[in-house]
Amino acid sequence: MEPMSSSPAASRRAAAIARHLAGNPAAKFASLLEPFSCLGYVPPESNEQPPAFALGDLRRLLDGHDLGVRDWMFRVMEQSTLFCSRHGGPGPAGRVFASPDFNKDKEGLREATMRRIGYLARRGVFRGWLTDTEGDAEAELRRIALLDCIGVYDHSLAIKIGVHFFLWGSAIKFLGTKRHHDKWLSDTENYVIKGCFSMTELGHGSNVRGIETVATYDIKTREFVINTPCESAQKYWIGGAANHATHTIVFAQLHINGRNEGVHAFVAQIRDEHENVMPNIQIADCGHKIGLNGVDNGRIWFNNIRVPRENLLNLVADVLPDGQYVSTIDDPDQRFAAFLSPLTLGRVNIAVNAVYISKVGVAIAVRYALSRRAFSVTPDGPEMLLLDYPSHQRRLLPLLAKACLMSSAGNFMKRMYVKRTPELNKSIHIYSSALKATLTWQNMTTLQECREACGGQGLKTENRIGIFKAEFDVQSTFEGDNNVLMQQVSKALYAEFLTAKRKNQPFKGLGLEHLNGPCPVIPDYLTSGTLRSSSFQMDLLCLRERDLLKRFTTEVSNYLAQGENREKALMLSYQLAEDLARAFTERTILQIFLEDEKNIPTGSLKDILGLLRSLYVMVCIDESASFLRYGCLSRENVAAARKEVMTLCSELRPHALAIVSSFGIPDAFLSPLAFDWIEANARSSGNE
């Protein structure tokens, strides 16, 4: 064997071996066998800086009203094992979470929903909801606040209650008269009568004018004969019909002496006091759904059933005993709109509930991202919190900003609805259509991103975000398909444009007053300061809306000039219609938030609201091709806005925990993932 080389490298290796062999060999091996330090849960509150603002101040802004009522409602649910039966940690000291048991089959979920409604009724939650003679706006806002909280717990429970009180009950109250109120409202409020709302048919959903159910007046017996003439006329997706409803509002074409007077609303009993289906009525279950299985959706067929003349809800129109048709509204279109008025509150509730579910999803994902670590920047450094990664901030913090701005929009819509007047009906319809569509779409986007941001834990039903996706998917299509609603918004804006031009009057209402002034001018070069300026942000969104409204009306006019009728011309212009409706809605949301922000005194909260608002606008620019497509912004300025998103996210990052904590959602209504997710998954936890 040749002698060892005396090179420097060989010398270093020899020295390293000598150091390795020095000392007690047993001690060396023992140190190698010491247990590795395992990950431990550290609450986000331990690492994050104290809030820079009073959490209650932001909550008052975001919730808008009835904070005490909301807290009471959450406590009512937390106090019952019907709502809180699951523990997020081992032993009796484990954290309790309020969530339905989605392991039940649909029959079990439906039974649980009914038991919870009974409990809430006994606790007085529904007292005065329909019989309160005050009828003031504050009382109506309280009812909406209570339903907000119920929806945070379970969508099925909220929908079941909403159908009974806000569809069936509101139809009786607002489309009926004293004879209907005296007969049905008290029993409805006490849940003696269980109501449902039969509008949608197998063949017609959004096109209510086209429904095929027929109600023919029989002058001899002074009754309406209601009939399902064909399979496509079966009432479909009727919440509450499959198992529990005793009565329903039937929307049908009213025929008198061979003349069709259009769609009207009638009261029909579909089950007796023993829950037996009434004669000449057939009911079938819609079956298992991808979500919302705590609601018994059913199908209904009417085989020439007879209801008294007095069962026509006659506030808007009536039929006299001799068959004479009378109405307080001469215009058939306005009359039809009045019959659809109960749907407006449904859209308001759906839109607001979507924001609260987004808040739950974002709160869980942000708290998890502030306690979960992954990888490290340096070889020997600590693993980083997820929310310290710029890419993770980009995923979650824009969703946080949107949830905050959309909260203001929801409050605006609620206040407008409860103070409604006949003059406001058109505006309420347009705003509720635009915001219901936009807020429910955003909710699904939020839930998907939050689910992915939580990795495999997001798949667990107990962590809520994943199951929410299935539970709330339906919001995109019920109470009006979102795409159809947005088309209605563009049509309404087109009509406003034509009216203003024809009368040579300024625009008034719907926030369109900006069209009366000069066209905003956008600087060629946008600095960070300009991008964050509220006046620039409003100018930009107004410029886009103004430009798209002009383009849309021009394109429709061109189709009309080619011989197309108005409906066909509007239909062919659907691409611009989509962009216009989105532009209107995003400008509306920004304008509403600016009004709220204006009322906040100078200080840290106002600064954070500015960050949220600026992030919302920059993300709107980043996510919509319309700014670049129609030349509102140059490529360089779009790129500048995109870069600003990253900067804003980093500045908002220190405040993320404080913002989600200000949502006012109790810990029990989040999920194990938002807290000690290691303990919640321990062998001793008993979770399966």
Task: Tell me how far CA of residue 345 lies from CA of 169, 340, 364, 415, 493, in angstroms.
Answer: 12, 10, 29, 12, 22
User: Closest Cα partner for 258 from 333, 338, 325, 331?
Assistant: 325
Q: Residue written as tokens 């071996």?
A: 17
Query: How many Å from the N-terminal Cα to the C-terminal Cα in the chain?
Result: 64
Give the span between the Cα atoms of 673 and 371, in whole angstroms. Answer: 10
pLDDT of residue 684: 67
pLDDT of residue 19: 52
pLDDT of residue 50: 94
Strand 384-385 and strand 373-374: the pairing is antiparallel
List domains and CATH numbers for the chain. 195-334 (2.40.110.10), 343-669 (1.20.140.10)
Long-range Cβ contact pairs of 493-501 (< 8 A, separation 24 or more): 493/549, 493/552, 493/580, 493/581, 493/584, 494/549, 494/552, 494/553, 494/556, 494/570, 497/549, 497/553, 498/553
Identify whether the C-beta of residue 224 lies closer than 8 Å to the C-beta of residue 306: yes
Give the span between the Cα atoms of 110 and 243, in whole angstroms. Answer: 9
Identify whether the C-beta of residue 319 lies closer than 8 Å to the C-beta of residue 312: yes
pLDDT of residue 10: 52
Quote the crossing angle between the two packed helices 604-623 and 390-418, to the nearest 10°.
100
pLDDT of residue 421: 86
Give the span between the Cα atoms of 235 and 204, in whole angstroms. Answer: 9
**Active site annotation includes 231:** no
Q: Which two tokens stand for residue 277?
A: 């289906």
Residues of the chain with pLDDT under 50: 1-6, 8, 16, 20-21, 26-35, 89-93
Residue 239 is assigned to a ligand binding site: yes
Cα angle: 588, vertex 591, 594; to 5 degrees: 150
Cα angle: 266, vertex 268, 274; to 5 degrees: 165
Give the span between the Cα atoms of 265 and 318, in whole angstroms. Answer: 11
pLDDT of residue 89: 47
Give the span between the Cα atoms of 30 and 18, in whole angstroms. Answer: 19
Q: Which two tokens stand for residue 234?
A: 């079966």
Identify whether the C-beta of residue 643 lies closer than 8 Å to the C-beta of residue 338: no
Q: Which two tokens stand for residue 634?
A: 């140059």
Residue 378 is assigned to a ligand binding site: no
- The pTM (predicted TM-score) of the whole model is 0.91
Instruction: Name the active-site residue from 462, 479, 586, 644.
Output: 479
Identify whether the C-beta of residue 258 lies closer than 8 Å to the C-beta of residue 324: no
